[in-house]
Amino acid sequence: MAAAEFDIPEIKDYIEVPKLREGAMAHAKTFLAPKPVQDFMGYPHELADDWKESALEKMGDLLGKYRSLKVFLDACVHCGACTDKCHYYLGTSDPKNMPVARQDLMRQVYRRYFTTAGKLFPKLVGAKDLTKDVLNDWYNYYHQCSECRRCSVFCPYGIDTAEITMAGREILNHIGMGQKYSNEILGKVQKIGNNLGLPGPALLDTLEGLEEDIEADTGVAVKLPIDVKGAEVLLVTPSADFFSEPHVESLIGYAKVFHAAGTSWTLSTHASEAGNFGLFNGNYETMRKVAMRIRDAALELGVKRIVVGECGHAWRVAYSFWNTLTGIGYGADDPFSIELQKQLDPNYPQPQHICELTNDLIKSGKIKVDPSKNDDLIVTYHDSCNVARASRMGTEPGGQFIIPRELIKSVVNNFHNMADDTIYESTFCCGGGGGLLTDDLMEVRVKGALPRATALNNVVKEHQVNFMATICAICKAQFTKVLPKYGFDMSMVGGVHQLVAKAIILD
Amino acid sequence: MSTLTIIYAGLFYIATLLLVVGLAYKIFDYSRTPAPLKIPTTPAPVTQTGVVYRMAKEVVLFESLFKSSKWTWIFGWLFHFGLLLVLARHLRYFTEPVWFWVNIVQPFGKYASIMMVVGLAGLLARRFLVDRVRYISTPSDYLMLVLLIVIGSSGMLMTFVAHTDIVALKTFFMGLMYFDVQPVPQDPILLIHLALVALLMLIFPISKLLHAPGLFFSPTRNQVDNPREHRHVAAWAARLDQKN
Amino acid sequence: MPMVNIAGKDYEAVEEKVELTEGHWEVVNFLREYYAEYQIAPAVRVLTKAIGKKLGPDKGNNKYLYELFPYGPAKQACKIAGLPKPTGCI
Ligand code: HEM
Ligand code: SF4
Ligand code: SF4
């Protein structure tokens, strides 16, 4: 099937706030999940006669379970501060891609059925009945949000549109409108062990091939062990790292780091995925089920540490939610969590990010690097949204910005940041996060990348930057696909450990 | 007792009751609804003290709004701090003897009303002038601002132009507080001012004015960033662990 | 279009505007063999390496593969071979 044609936006000197163009993206509709996919997830695959009642019932259920949803739907004053903060609005100029308008798609229904004012004076407060049209808007625009939380930074009440989007998708799934891409992947991770659907034998073959490559390249027998009981570290990484370019280069980087540090480590076939699309769907139990595979693998292999590879939303789930979902972390007083926590080595943060690990090793001199190996590169760094706004590294707030940069600067000699309002907590999403990394949303993805492409273009012009490092599998896949549409070379995107892999000194 | 007095006394009793009960219910409802996951917008404080500091900056300085939109911030801040001073000044109608700090704010409160109305006018203009804000505005958004502007300007009229009998007014309110209803002053501007204030109190718990309590319950702002160090589980989620 | 049988399942070999030469068939056949063994298309890296081993180092590189399949070996060659395209964070 040929993808629909659309215009590639033009990169300007700075990020422009466009005039509204109503309905500009109303046609962008991601594929619906077919019956087998929905069946596996336990959702219906088409609307039943009582879809409206069950949607409202689900909404009521979520309002009782999530304070975020309830408070956010009530608190917004329509001040408009968030309206120009979403990369999808900036790239598409569709007003329904303004965070507050995206929330209002649900808020109008919330007001109509759950608030006094909306029951009595719907017109006055913008309350609307839940109709098929509203439902279609939900489906289309809740799949044009990458749940990147940029809006929540700028809202005076911290209203996080991602929470609304997640609730929206959960309700949609519940009544039979699931998204094919995400739900298919959630099926694969639960049946096969990873998002890609890479079966154990294929994974083993891939790792063997990589060991050969590294040895041919460096002369050193760096291993990529898998399912090794009693290893110290379990490394959980996105499955794209086993498969895609440039992702694989970072996997090679992790392997070299463990080799150089002399740390015993292992991958796991059962937990061959760090990503957790349960987050994108907003379903707590799915997210928990997917995360439990890692707990199970850790218990089975008896590892003392759990380290997470380069993946943005995976790090959010790992850092912020694993302790809650699976007891990977500290400070629990229930038997379920204690069972695992007494096995983990308290000298390390659990889970630990691979950047925290490598940066510590370099700083303490346990591994040696030669940054001049990367002298062909002038590097910038893209803060991935979930790492930047939904997690931390190290012990201080903001460590998630400092540690990857420290690490990069220790392995390269030329580094330049992009503009301040496009990095750190203000970073722009790559445009492919939150379950949108699918060909059927290519227009949304390309347009949503405009703010980042603009910022990148400026450092390319000003500092001749020729490499943008990032620590997210989705960012890497999205940028290699989408940046060429803006005239950049796809090979200018890669992982931080890709840089480490080049600079590290092995013996 | 005149009908007018009965109407106004009744109005304020009902408005106060609904405001208090409505807000109490909302606050109770927010606090009983669990936040099952750690979702502070990071970088976030890693201690509880840090959270108090973060929240204070949001409440007093509108820190996040400052980052996002300078115009909205200026007008919004003028309005809210104008309002705060004006409200403080109004305490003199409800206290006997008047608290000493209320006396200190009197002269400021007088001019704060200008701040407040200017701020409101700016916010209203923004709703008309900025296409993005116009798109998201509902009739109630405009009316809320108009309501506050009319309350503010009728108040200013009485302060600066056509003085009202504030001694009689105070007698009326003190009477309400001690359940000994006294006649309401028959000044048309005052009557409009009072009726609209009662209306504002009535809609407070069922409108976007819930942003005031809402901010304190916003998980992205009030959570400590310590998920690796402490296990955070909601009651409904903890039940899932038992099934394992 | 002929149906191709891979790992016991029938797939429709999709029509593409490429004149299939000997070189194309070598790649397509490798893809099908790999799929039959592992139930997934090979990574590009695996593909280039395998082609290099089989047909000599001058062919075991991205450039050669891109010349054969201008829309990308992973995407286009898999499509011609009739393999389902892997999805994920790729
Ligand atoms: C904890 C106390 C409060 C805080 C932190 C707070 C904060 C804010 C902020 C940050 C905004 C958005 C910016 C703006 O439009 O001004 C806002 C809007 C607003 N606030 Fe408050 N507020 C508080 C209490 C109140 C109260 C008591 C009222 C009572 C009348 C009020 C009325 C409004 C109105 C009407 C708006 C919307 C303005 C518009 O339409 O543009 N606020 N508030
Ligand atoms: S979470 Fe990100 S993508 Fe979604 S509305 Fe907010 S800024 Fe846009
Ligand atoms: S910034 Fe927050 S309060 Fe203002 S319109 Fe956006 S979501 Fe609503």
**Within a domain: residue C8?**
no
Nearest atom in ligand 3 to A81's CA: 1
Q: Identify which ligand lies nearest to the alpha carbon of B152.
A: 1
Q: Percent of chain A scored above 70 by pLDDT?
A: 99
CA–CA separation, C30 vs C46, rounded Å? 11
Q: What is the pLDDT of residue C17?
A: 60
In a domain, C41, yes or no: yes
In a domain, C87, yes or no: no
Give the atom of ligand 3 at the shortest distance from the alpha carbon of A155. Answer: 1
How close is the Cα of B216 to the center of ligand 2, in Å? 22
Asked whether residue C51 is assigned to any structural domain, the reply reads yes
- pLDDT bin (cut points 50, 70, 90) of residue C5 is very low
CA A95 from chain center: how many Å?
24
Count up the domains in chain C and report the number.
1
Least confident of A148-157, A460-469, B105-114, B210-219: B105-114
Q: How far is CA A365 from the centre of its chain?
A: 32
Place of tokens 């407060």: A125
Beta bridge partners of A307: A235, A352
Packing angle, helices A247-261 and A200-218, rounded to 10: 70
- Tens-place pLDDT, residues A325-383: 999 999 988 888 898 999 999 999 999 999 999 999 999 999 999 999 999 999 999 99
The minimum-distance atom of ligand 2 relative to the CA of A429 is 2
Ligand 1 pocket, residue B215 CB under 6 Å:
yes
Amino acid at B160: F
Does residue B89 contact residue B110 with C-beta atoms inside 8 Å? yes
3-state secondary structure of A495: strand
Q: Give the number of domains in chain B.
A: 1
- Structural domain includes residue C49: yes
Query: Cα separation of A352 and A347, whole Å?
Result: 11
Report the DSSP beta bridge partners of residue A380. Answer: A468
Nearest to C89 among A199, A245, A477 (CB): A477
pLDDT, tens only, A65-100: 999 999 999 999 999 999 999 999 999 999 999 999
C60 backbone dihedrals φ, ψ, rounded to 5°: -85, 55
Mean pLDDT, chain A, as a whole number? 96
CA B195, CA B173: separation in Å to the nearest integer?
A: 14
**What span, in angstroms and rounded, lies between the C-alpha atoms of B118 and B126?**
12
Average pLDDT over residues A291-305: 96
Query: If pLDDT is split at 50, 70 and 90, which confidence band does C2 have?
Result: very low
Task: In whole angstroms, give the CA distance from residue A393 to residue A354.
Answer: 10
Report whether pLDDT(C14) > 50.
no
Q: Is the pLDDT of residue A408 over 90?
A: yes
Q: What is the mean pLDDT of residues A372-401?
A: 97
Ligand 1 touching residue B76 (CB < 6 A)? yes
**pLDDT > 70 fraction of chain B, expressed in percent and rounded:** 99
User: pLDDT digit string (tens) for C67-88?
Assistant: 888 877 777 888 888 888 888 8
Q: Which helix (H) or strand (E) holds A36?
A: helix A35-41
pLDDT at C4: 45
Residue C46 is part of which domain span?
21-81
> Would you say A298 and A234 are in contact if contact means Cβ atoms under 8 Å apart?
yes
CA C22 to chain centre: 13
Q: In this complex, which of C38, C45, C90 lies closest to A477 when CB atoms are compared?
A: C90
| Mean pLDDT estimate for chain C | 78
Task: Look at residue C7 and tell me if it is in a domain.
Answer: no
The structure tokens 């500092």 sit at A463
Q: Report angle CA C85, C86, C90 to the nearest 5 degrees.
A: 120
pLDDT of residue A232: 97
Contacts of C74 by beta carbon, 8 Å cutoff, 6+ apart: C41, C44, C47, C85
pLDDT at C6: 44
- Predicted pLDDT of residue C10: 46
| A135: CB partners within 8 A, 6+ apart | A51, A55, A172, A177
Determine, yes or no, domain membership for C4.
Answer: no
Residues 6 or more apart whose Cβ sits within 8 Å of residue A469: A379, A380, A381, A382, A404, A408, A494, A495, A496, A498, A499
State the CATH number of the domain containing residue C76: 1.10.10.370
Which pLDDT tens digit goes with each residue over C39-52? Answer: 999 888 888 888 88
Alpha carbon of B10: minimum distance to chain A alpha carbons (Å): 22
Question: Which whole number is the average pLDDT over A6-34?
Answer: 95
Could you read off the pLDDT of B10-37 as tens digits, one per residue?
999 999 999 999 999 999 999 999 999 9
pLDDT tens-digit profile of B133-187? 999 999 999 999 999 999 999 999 999 999 999 999 999 999 999 999 999 999 9
- Write down the pLDDT at residue A201: 94
The three-state DSSP-derived secondary structure of A385-418 is: HHHHHHCCCCCCCCHHHHHHHHHHHHHCCCECCC
Transcribe chain B into DSSP letters.
Answer: --HHHHHHHHHHHHHHHHHHHHHHHHHHHHHHS---S--PPSS--SSHHHHHHHHHIIIII-HHHHHH-HHHHHHHHHHHHHHHHHHHHHGGGT-SSPPHHHHHHHHHHHHHHHHHHHHHHHHHHHHHH-HHHHHH--HHHHHHHHHHHHHHHHHHIIIIIS---HHHHHHHHHHHHTT---PPP--HHHHHHHHHHHHHHHHGGGSGGGHHHHHHH-HHHH--S-TTTS----HHHHHHHHT-
Query: Has residue C30 been placed in a domain?
Result: yes
pLDDT tens per residue across span A161-213 = 999 999 999 999 999 999 999 999 999 999 999 999 999 999 999 999 999 99
Confidence of residue B244 (pLDDT cuts 50, 70, 90): low
Which residues span the domain enclosing B43? 3-242
Q: How far apart are CA A421 and CA A433, in angstroms?
A: 20
Interface-testing mutation among A208, A243, A269, with chain C (most C C-beta atoms within 10 A): A243
Sheet holding A467-470, edge to edge: A379-381, A467-470, A493-495
Distance from CA of B34 to the nearest CA of A (A): 6
CATH of the domain at B168: 1.20.950.20
Q: Given an 8 Å threshold on Cβ–Cβ distance, is B139 in contact with A124?
A: yes
Show the tokens assigned to A446. 């390309």
Whether ligand 1 lies within 6 angstroms of the CB of B8 is answered as no
**Average pLDDT of the segment spanning B97-103:** 91
Q: Say how many C-beta atoms besides its own lie within 10 A of residue B9's C-beta.
A: 19
Contact A316, B225 (CB under 8 A): no
* Residues A108-133, mean pLDDT to the nearest whole number: 96
Q: Is residue A2 very low, low, confident or very high in pLDDT (cuts 50, 70, 90)?
A: very low
CA distance A433 to A437: 6
Q: What are the backbone dihedrals phi and psi of residue B181, each rounded to the nearest 5 degrees, phi first?
A: -65, 130
For the four alpha carbons of A109, A111, A115 and A120, in that order, the dihedral sign comes to negative
Q: Cβ separation of A245 and C45 shorter than 8 Å?
A: yes
With beta carbons under 8 A apart, name residues in chain A contacting C87: 181, 184-185, 195-196, 438
Nearest to C88 among A196, A202, A209 (CB): A196
Q: Which of B213, B235, B224 is nearest to B34 (CA)?
A: B235
DSSP for C33-89 reads HHHHHHSSPPPHHHHHHHHHHHH-TTTSSHHHHHHH-TT-IIIIIHHHHTPPPP-S-
Ligand number nearest to the C-alpha of A143? 2
pTM: 0.94
Is there a contact between B228 and A319 if contact means CB atoms under 8 Å apart? yes
Q: What is the pLDDT of residues A416-458, one digit of tens each?
A: 999 999 999 999 999 999 999 999 999 999 999 999 999 999 9
Distance from CA of C88 to the nearest CA of A (A): 5
Contact by Cβ (8 Å): A253, A324: no
